[in-house]
Amino acid sequence: MSGEPPRRTPFRLGVGPRRVERDVDEELAFHLEMRARRLAARGLDPDRARAEALRQFGDLGAVRAECLDIDHRQDRTMRRVNFLGELRQDVGYALRALRQHAGFSAVVLATLAIGIGANAAVFSVVDALLLRPLPVAHPEQLVSLGDPRRVNSVSSGSPRTDIFSYRLYTELRDRNHVVSGLLATGRANPIDVLVEERAAGGAAVTSEPEHPRGRFVSGNYFDVLGVHAALGRTFAPDEGRTAGDAPVVVISHAYWTRRFDADSGVLGRTLRINEAPYTIVGVAPEGFAGEIVGQPTDLWLPLTMQPVFAPNRPWLDERDVNWLLLVGRLKPGVTPAQAEAEFSTLAEQAITAQGVRAENLAPSLPGGLHVEVVSAARGLSSLRDVYDEALVTLMAAVALVLLIVCANVANLLLVRATSRGREMSVRIALGAGRGRILRQLVTESLLLAVLGGALGLVVATWGRTLLLRLASSGRAPIPLDARFDWRVLAFTGALVLVTALLFGLAPALHATRVQVAEALRSQARGLTGGARGRRPGAGRVLVVAQVALSLMLLVATSLLARSVRRLAASDIGVARGELLIASVDAARTGYEGDALAALLRDVLARARALPGVATASFSENGLFAGTESSTTLQVEGFTPAAAGDTLVNYDRVGPDYFHAIGARLLRGRDVQASDDEHAPKVGVVNETMARFYFPDGDAIGRYVRVDGQEYRIVGVVADVQDHGLRDAPVRRLYLPAFQVPEQLRGFNLELRGPDPARLVTPTRNMIGEANAALVAYQVSPLDDLLRASIRQDLLVARMVSAFGVLALALAALGLYGVMTYTAMRRTSEFGLRLALGAQRGDVGRLVLGEALRLVAAGAALGLPLALAATRLLRSQLFEVAPFDPVSIAVALGVLLLGALLAGWLPARRATRVAPLVALRTE
C-alpha cells in the first residue's frame, strides 16, 4: 500500500472477493484523515499535517497486513458459521418438505434406490473379481508365471510353460535371481475329509465325510505371500521338501469358524484327508481365502503330500505332468519384463536338457518355451476370462438405467417445482436471493440422493447375491467375496453426488426463474418459467431422453435374447436332450491297467441295465465336462506346411460311443467291444479332421501314427461340439479306450434315455455299488451342462432384459407424468374445445398424438445410438448381427406399446372434462 490513502467512493457494495480489503483500506484512511485534521487544527498546513500523520502512524503496510489477516480470519469464521447455520436450516426445511409430501418422496426414493442399488451391486462384483488386490503384504510386488486362468488344469504328455511340472518348478525356484521367493500352487480335488472327534469316554470317533475345497501349496507359500497365521503357525521351512514327510494342514479362518466353531483347541486335531491323517498346525488370518479369486480355499496341504493324497497318480517325479501355477515376489528394482526374460531362459534350459526341442512344443504351446510373467496383485482366477466382458456390459447397462432414473426424478422435480412457483415468488419478494433459493433446492436434491443411496445399498446387498446366483452354474451363488469395501462405498458416494447434480440442478434452476408479479397474482396456481399456460419444455426434453436411452436397452435386450436362444438351441451333433453325463474319478480305486478296464466293463454293463437307459458308453474327456487332450501325429500321405498342422485333439472312448451319444456316422463304423488290447489299433476321425488331412480322398483305411503306434481309420463321424457351444470345430481323433488300458484314469459315463434327469440318483447309486471308492463328482443331464457352459451369456441376457424392462417402465412413467401435467394445464382449453363442438375422441387423439410425437422423437434419437452401441456387443452375439431388423422391430414394438399405455390414461382423463366446470374454473 502506498503512503497515500485510497479515496473513498460515494457508493459501493459490501460484497465481492475484495470486500475485506476495501473495508480495511477504508478504516485506515479514516484514521489517517482524523489524525491529519487534528494536526491541521494545531496550525499545520494540510499537506504537512497529512505527512506528519503518516509518520506518526508508522509502517502502514505492516499495519494493513496485520489488519487484513485478522479480518480474513474473522470473515472465514463468520462465513463458516453462517454456512453451517444455513445448511442446518436447509436440511431441516428439506426434511419437513419430504414429510409433507410423503407420497412424492417415497416414489423418488424408491426410484433412486433401484438405480443406485443396481449400479452398486454390479460394481461390487466387478470390484471383487477385477479390481480388489489380494489381502497380503504388498500385493503389487507379486507376479504370476504362466497362465493365471488355469487354476485347476492338469496336462500330461509334454512339458509346458503355461502350467508347470513340479520338477520344473524346483529348478525355476532355485536358479532364478529376480524374485525373493517363488511359490507353487495346484489343485487338490476331489477331497474327502473325516474329522476325528472325542466321544464322552475319550474314544476317537469320526464324523461323516465332508468335501471342503483344498489346494496343494509349496512350503514357502505363506512366507512368499506375507501371510501370518491367526492361530498356531503356517508351514515350517523344512516342511514340503521331501515327498510324504509333512502330514500337516493349515485351515482357513472361515472353515475354522464354520466347522470348529472357532475353537482355539483345534491345533493338534487330526483330519483324515482321503484316508490319510493330517495334523492341524495353524489357522489362516480372517479374510484370507487363498490366491484363487472366486474359489476360496478351506485347506492348504503341503505340495509334497500329493503322492500320499493320490497314490495312483504321483505327479512329483513326472516331468511331463504339468499341474502347478507359480507366483513370485519381485526383488526391488526388478521389472516383470526382466523376470519374464530370465524365467524363459531358465525354462528353455531345463526343458531342452530333457531332450525336448522348443519347436516340438509349438503346436501344443503357442508360446513355445516362453514364460509369461504378469501381475498377480489381484490373484489368479479362471472366472475373469469368463465374466470380464459380461460385467463391462452390465456396468454399461446399469449406467443407462441410472441416467433414465435421473431423468425420471428430474421430471418429477420439475412438476413439483411448477407447483411451488408461488412459494418461490413469495420468498424472492421477501428478499431471498436466487442463489440462496437455488442452494436450498440443491440441498433438497442432495438429501434425496443421500437417502436414496442409503436405500440403494440395501438393494445392492440383495442384488449382488442375485447376480452371483445367476452367474453360477448351480443353485448356490459363485463363492465370490463381493463385500462392500471402501471402493464400493466410494463408488456409491460418487454416484450419490453425480445423481444429485444430474436430477437436481435443472429443476432447481427452473424453479428460480419465477415471474414474481404474475405468480403472486395467480393465487393458488403457481407458475414457473414464464407466462401462464406455458408448457414445461424441459420435461419433454427429459422424456425424449428417457425414450432414447430405453430404446438402446430394449434393442440390446432383444439382440441378446435372440442370441442366447439360438446359442442354447444350437445343434452340437449329439442327442442333447437324452444324455446324462457322469464324471467319475477312478484313480483312487487302486485299479489300473487290465483291472481298471475290467472295472469299466462292469460299470458299463451296470449302466446299460438301469431302467430308463437305452444305451450307454464312456469317454475320457466327456461332453461339456472333464478335460481336453491334444497330441501331435503323423498322417499317411500328408506333408505339414506348419508345425500346428500335426496337432489334433483326441479322446479315448468306449464301445458304441457314437451310437450312445447320438452322433452321426458319415462313413465306416463305430468303436466296438472287440477293439481291445489284442485287436489291431483303430481310430475314428471327425469330419473336420478328415477334410483337412484327406481333402481329395476317403479317410477310411488310411493310417495315422500317435506316440509311436499306428492306427487305421475305420470311421468318419460328423463334428461334435463337446466343450463349447461357440467353439469352431477342431480336428479330433477318437481312440478305443480298451486298446490302451494302462492309460485310463478318470472317465465320463454317457447314458442315453428319454428322461435323463430321472437317471441322476440311480446312476450315483450304481457307481457306488460297482466300487465304493469310485467318486462321481458330477452327474448331470447334458442340457444342464450346456446351460452352465453359457452361464455368462445367460447372465448378461437376463440382467440386461431386467434393466430393459425397468427402463421401459421408467420411461413410461415419465411420459405419463408429463402428459398428465399437460392435460391438467390444458383443462380450460379442452373444455372450450368441447363447448365449441369438438368430439371427445378428438380431444383424446390430441393428447395421445402429443405423447406419440414425444416417443417418435425419442426413437429417432435413440435408434442411431442403439445401432452404434450394439456394435460393442458383437463378440457376445451368436448367429445374430448387431444390425438385426427383427430385434429392432421387437424393441420398437415394445416401446410403442408402453407409450400407448402411458399416453392413453391422460388422454382418457382429458376426454372426461366437463366443459362448464372447466370454463367456470378458468
pLDDT at 794 > cutoff 70: yes
The pLDDT of residue 527 is: 38
Alpha-carbon span 613 to 600, nearest angstrom: 17
| Residue pair 220/185 in contact by the 8 Å Cβ criterion | no
What would the grid cell of residue 369 be? Answer: 518355451
Alpha-carbon span 608 to 186, nearest angstrom: 36
Question: What is the bridge-based pairing of β-strands 248-251 and 299-302?
Answer: antiparallel
| Residue pair 500/449 in contact by the 8 Å Cβ criterion | yes
> Bigger pLDDT: 464 or 329?
329
Q: What is the CA radius of gyration of the chain?
A: 38
Give mean pLDDT, residues 78-84.
Answer: 64
Cβ neighbors of 519 (< 8 A, separation 6 or more) are 421, 422, 424, 425, 526, 527, 528
Alpha-carbon span 214 to 189, nearest angstrom: 7
The pLDDT of residue 752 is: 94
Alpha-carbon span 331 to 343, nearest angstrom: 14
Cβ neighbors of 52 (< 8 A, separation 6 or more) are 36, 39, 44
What would the grid cell of residue 459 be? Answer: 438393494
pLDDT at 734 > cutoff 80: yes
Torsion angle of C-alpha atoms 30, 36, 37, 43, degrees rounded to 10: 180
Lowest mean pLDDT among 15-19, 540-544, 685-689: 15-19
Alpha-carbon span 918 to 922, nearest angstrom: 6
Q: What is the DSSP letter of 492?
A: H
Specify the 3-state DSSP secondary structure of 243. Answer: coil
Give mean pLDDT, residues 488-496.
Answer: 90
> Bigger pLDDT: 339 or 833?
339
Q: What percent of the chain has pLDDT over 90?
A: 26
Query: Given the C-alpha cell 396456481, which residue does it identify?
Result: 525
Alpha-carbon span 468 to 223, nearest angstrom: 32
CA proximity to 843, closest of 907, 918, 920, 921: 907
| Residue pair 578/720 in contact by the 8 Å Cβ criterion | no
Alpha-carbon span 23 to 21, nearest angstrom: 5
Burial class of residue 524, CB neighbours in 10 A (0-12, 13-18, 19+): exposed
| Residue pair 623/748 in contact by the 8 Å Cβ criterion | yes
Q: What percent of the chain has pLDDT over 70?
A: 82
What would the grid cell of residue 1 be? Answer: 500500500
3-state secondary structure 91-157: HHHHHHHHHHCHHHHHHHHHHHHHHHHHHHHHHHHHHHHHHCCCCCCCHHHEEEECCCCCCCCCEEC
Alpha-carbon span 530 to 542, nearest angstrom: 19
Give mean pLDDT, residues 223-246.
Answer: 86
Q: Report pLDDT digits (tens) over 376-391.
A: 999 998 888 878 888 8
Q: Report pLDDT digits (tens) over 265-315.
A: 899 999 988 888 999 999 999 999 999 998 899 999 999 898 888 777 788
Q: Is residue 10 very low, low, confident or very high in pLDDT (cuts 50, 70, 90)?
A: very low
Q: Report pLDDT digits (tens) over 850-891.
A: 878 888 888 888 888 888 888 878 878 888 888 888 888 888
Cβ neighbors of 778 (< 8 A, separation 6 or more) are 581, 582, 583, 625
Q: Is residue 5 very low, low, confident or very high in pLDDT (cuts 50, 70, 90)?
A: very low
Give mean pLDDT, residues 74-78.
Answer: 70
Q: Report pLDDT digits (tens) over 85-117.
A: 666 776 777 777 777 777 778 888 888 898 899
Alpha-carbon span 195 to 874, nearest angstrom: 51
Alpha-carbon span 876 to 477, nearest angstrom: 23
The number of CA neighbours under 13 Å toward the Cβ of 19 is 10
Q: Report pLDDT digits (tens) over 179-223.
A: 999 999 998 877 888 887 755 555 555 566 788 899 999 999 999
Alpha-carbon span 734 to 649, nearest angstrom: 9
Query: Given the C-alpha cell 496337432, which residue does it identify?
Result: 647
Question: What is the bridge-based pairing of β-strands 732-736 and 647-653?
Answer: parallel
Alpha-carbon span 223 to 238, nearest angstrom: 13
Torsion angle of C-alpha atoms 843, 847, 848, 853, degrees rounded to 10: 130
- Bridge partners (DSSP) of residue 327 are 144, 183
Q: Is residue 919 very low, low, confident or very high in pLDDT (cuts 50, 70, 90)?
A: low
What would the grid cell of residue 306 be? Answer: 500329493
Most confident range, picked from 72-86, 537-551, 596-610: 596-610
Specify the 3-state DSSP secondary structure of 85. Answer: helix
CA proximity to 614, closest of 659, 581, 654, 652: 659
Q: Report pLDDT digits (tens) over 633-654.
A: 888 888 888 767 888 888 899 9
| Residue pair 646/363 in contact by the 8 Å Cβ criterion | yes
Alpha-carbon span 668 to 672, nearest angstrom: 12
Alpha-carbon span 281 to 273, nearest angstrom: 15
What would the grid cell of residue 501 be? Answer: 447434480
Cβ neighbors of 738 (< 8 A, separation 6 or more) are 597, 600, 654, 655, 673, 675, 676, 677
Give mean pLDDT, residues 778-791.
Answer: 85
Specify the 3-state DSSP secondary structure of 218. Answer: coil
| Residue pair 118/401 in contact by the 8 Å Cβ criterion | yes
Alpha-carbon span 316 to 305, nearest angstrom: 9
CA distances (Å), origin 582, targets 618, 742, 905: 9, 21, 57
Cβ neighbors of 182 (< 8 A, separation 6 or more) are 145, 169, 172, 173, 176, 220, 224, 326, 327, 328
Name residue 478's amino acid.
I
pLDDT at 6 > cutoff 70: no
Alpha-carbon span 614 to 633, nearest angstrom: 35
Residue 458: which region, alpha, beta or left (left: phi > 0; alpha: psi -120 to 50)?
A: alpha
Q: Report pLDDT digits (tens) over 666-682.
A: 999 999 999 988 899 99
Q: What is the DSSP letter of 380?
A: B
The number of CA neighbours under 13 Å toward the Cβ of 31 is 12
CA proximity to 871, closest of 855, 858, 884, 856: 884
Q: What's the angle, vertex CA 913, arms to CA 907 and CA 915, rounded to 5?
A: 140
Mean pLDDT (the chain) is 81
The pLDDT of residue 103 is: 75
| Residue pair 142/376 in contact by the 8 Å Cβ criterion | yes
The pLDDT of residue 81 is: 61
What would the grid cell of residue 144 be? Answer: 504370476
- Bridge partners (DSSP) of residue 733 are 650, 685
The pLDDT of residue 534 is: 43
Name residue 161's amino acid.
T
Give mean pLDDT, residues 782-798.
Answer: 83
What would the grid cell of residue 468 be? Answer: 452371483
Cβ neighbors of 436 (< 8 A, separation 6 or more) are 86
| Residue pair 185/324 in contact by the 8 Å Cβ criterion | yes
pTM metric for this prediction: 0.77
The pLDDT of residue 144 is: 94
Cβ neighbors of 215 (< 8 A, separation 6 or more) are 185, 186, 187, 188, 290, 292, 297, 299, 300, 301
Q: Is residue 68 very low, low, confident or very high in pLDDT (cuts 50, 70, 90)?
A: confident
